A and B are shown apart, each in its own frame.
Chain A
Amino acid sequence: MSTPSNPIDPPLIRLEDVVLGRGAPPPRFDVLRAPLLGRLLKARNGRLLLQIPFLLVAVLLVYDGLTGPQLAPQNLATVTVWIHTRGLVIVAALLLGNVFCMGCPFTLPRTLARRLSGRGRRWPRALRNKWLAVAAFVAFLFLYEWLDLWAGPRLTAAVIIGYFAGAFVLEALFAESPFCKYICPLGTFNFVANTAAPTQITVHDRDVCRACPGKECVNGSARVLGCGTELFPPAVRSNLDCVFCLDCARACPYDNVALAVRRPGQEWTAGAPGDGVWPRRWDVSFLVLVFTFAAVSNAFGMVPPFYDAQAWLAGALGLTSEGARLALTFVALNLALPAVAGLAAAALSRALVGRREPLRVAFSRFAPAFVPLAVAIWLAHYGFHFATGALVIVPVLQNFLLAHGLTWLGVAPNWSLAAILPGEWLLPLQTAAVLAGFAAALFAGNRLARRDFDDPAAAVRAFVPWLLVLLALAVAALATFNLPMEMRGLS
């Protein structure tokens, strides 16, 4: 029996999980076996059917971004990327799964590069972790703020072009889809957010996989590429690193791969005591904390105290460069603060229960509990922009067509179209989202504590330091959303 040609990166995927049958449970409902939809998704060009419209949109955005009006509210690139994509990414994660990675057009040239260049070299071992993803994620948030990407159609178009170029070059040079797996900031966002998703790749029968000679799901076949991020479906226990490309399902000669409907966030608390589904890795756990702290800081960047803090930094430290001030702020809020809070909580948690275990284990244990709060805060923030501006796409598209002499959508843009929800609903909805996220974090944290500690009192003591961090983040988010929002971008 042959094994996958490339080693599978432990411990997100562990071969012993396959041997011991510890992947996700068999699906109760397999989306891929649903009438019509299943056939469509598994069709040879099923992903392409989603990618082609996304590609057309991307090309259109680049075109309008580079040649269209340079006022962000009037340009398709800025409206679509910063209002619709961001809002829908988080909604899709909660309702469907990682459909944005599934339809990602940046991987179209990547696929060509992969075919043209063969299998390529292995991604350097030192970089086969999430540290680079953490850095790229924070760097992207910094550039977004520093360069006012939301206010720049040309810059937004440049970001799209950069994504295409990055995916193509890295795929041409390396195997293992390093751009998706180790770098892409949007993919990193999607990976973490979609651990909340109601769907996940799994298999119907692990025995079929054990006996499978070709492991086409990973190795690919003459007809279909194998999994780009080298996940082995019977061992998949998490949506981390899964781009939902469904190449595994297309490649499987036994029709054994399933896109299972599951309880949202099931993976956060699944697993045996001391052997949870989530890896006990510094990089993955720190990524989750950064994802959560960045959710708050990203929203905080739009309220008056943020600008007061920037002015204070300029005066007190003499930092005249906006870039330097923002870099300092972003490193402090998105890297230093989660590191200090996480290490302190882990050390205190370990001390309170008196268990001799590596700090890494204590640091990682409750990381999954942060995801629901983080997703809720991102939803409250990006949902606000989407709710207040979703319909702006109509007049912007009308304006675009009229600029090209096309009157398909009328002879004048209707600029009064903007919000899809009344303004007075937004704060209550944001508050409800954050509270629901906090409640889910409490639920997950409690289950994680009870899973890993037999003594209920020890479980409570282990969780309390983390609970304080979660509480502080929730309060900070609620306070931020209660402040008047400002939309800056003319530095």
Chain B
Amino acid sequence: MALRKARWLAWVALALALLLAGGCRRAETTDQAPDVQLTLSPDPDTLVVGPLRLDVTLRDASGAPIDGATDVSLRGDMSHAGMEPVLATAAGQGNGIYRADFTWTMAGDWIVTVEATLPDGRLKVTQFEYAIQPN
């Protein structure tokens, strides 16, 4: 019976190996523009549960604002699994600023991932961590 079970396990392992080998994982989205500076400014900056505005600022290596970025998206995840993420899209305001309405839906630790497609086509990705207090 040990042999029988070992055979079972071997088949399972083989099936998994085939499944995983057959569908290699795509590389995760990475920052293609390390020379570009992306900052995130909460307004208000009290960091409590509730709605707020998040300003994304893009500047090049010389500090000049970058306008014309597309698909500036924000995604807020809690550190704990199981919470619905907060998704938002930021709209350009000029002077390198992109503004989004956002909501801290729960107190705790948040990771906000900002992605922006720069005018030259490169993808800028930056993560920010916030500790949000109860309201």
Q: Which residues from B are CB-within-8-Å of A148?
A: 79
Q: Which residue of A lies closest to B105 (CB)?
A: A423
Does B81 lie within 8 Å of A490, measured CB to CB?
no
Cβ contacts A to B, 9 pairs, < 8 Å: A52-B8, A83-B81, A112-B2, A389-B84, A416-B84, A418-B83, A484-B134, A486-B134, A489-B108
Task: Say yes or no for A68: interface residue by CB 8 A criterion.
Answer: yes
The verdict on A306 contacting chain B, using a C-beta distance below 8 Å, is no
B80-113, CB < 8 A from A: 80-85, 87, 106-109, 111, 113
Q: Which of B9, B23, B87, B107 has the most CB of A within 10 A?
A: B107
Whether B81 contacts A78 by the Cβ 8 Å rule is yes
B interface footprint on A29-66 (CB within 8 Å = 1, 0 otherwise): 00000000000000000001000100110011001000
Going nearest first, the 5 A-B pairs with the smallest beta carbon separation are A389-B82, A489-B79, A404-B23, A418-B84, A487-B108
Q: How far is the CA of A405 from the CA of B27 in the complex (A)?
A: 11
Of A69-77, A231-239, A254-262, which stretch is located at the interface? A69-77
B64 in contact (CB, < 8 A): no
Are B79 and A490 neighbours in the complex by a CB distance under 8 Å? yes
Q: Does B6 contact A (CB under 8 A)?
A: yes
Q: Is there an interface contact between B79 and A151, defined as CB atoms closer than 8 Å?
A: yes
Q: Which residues of A contact B49 (CB under 8 A)?
A: 484
Interface pair B87/A55, CB less than 8 Å apart: no
Please give the number of chain A residues whose Cβ is less than 8 angstroms from any Cβ of chain B in the complex: 52
Interface residues of B in 1-59 (CB under 8 A from A): 1-2, 5-6, 8-9, 12, 16, 20, 23-26, 28, 49
Q: 15 other contacts beyond A71-B77, A72-B81, with CB at 8 A cut-off?
A: A63-B20, A69-B28, A78-B81, A111-B2, A150-B79, A151-B80, A151-B109, A385-B82, A403-B26, A405-B24, A405-B26, A416-B84, A488-B80, A488-B131, A489-B79
* Contact pick for A56, options B16, B24, B131, CB 8 Å: B16
Chain A residues whose C-beta falls within 8 Å of the C-beta of B5 in the assembled complex: 48, 108, 111-112, 115
B77 in contact with A489 (CB, 8 Å): no
Q: CB within 8 Å of B: which residues of A?
A: 48, 52, 55-56, 59-60, 63, 67-69, 71-75, 78-79, 82-83, 108, 111-112, 115-116, 148, 150-151, 223, 304, 385-386, 388-390, 392, 402-406, 415-419, 484-490
Q: From A389, which residue of chain B is reached at the shortest CB distance?
A: B82
Question: Which of B's residues lie within 8 Å of A, judged by CB?
Answer: 1-2, 5-6, 8-9, 12, 16, 20, 23-26, 28, 49, 77-85, 87, 106-109, 111, 113, 129, 131, 134-135
In Å, the complex CA distance between A71 and B20 comes to 21
Contact count A vs B, C-beta below 8 Å: 130
B79 and A486 form a contact (CB under 8 A): no
In contact, A388 and B82 (Cβ under 8 angstroms) = yes
Q: Which residue of B lies closest to A384 (CB)?
A: B82
Q: Which residue of A lies closest to B132 (CB)?
A: A486
Which chain B residue has the least Cβ–Cβ distance from A76?
B81
Chain B neighbourhood of A405, CB < 8 A: 23-24, 26
Question: Which chain B positions have C-beta within 8 A of A386?
Answer: 82
Residues of A contacting B129 with CB < 8 Å? 490
Chain A residue at minimal CB-CB distance from B87: A415
Nearest-neighbour CB distance to chain B for A395, whole angstroms, equals 9
Q: Is the CB of A71 within 8 A of B82?
A: no
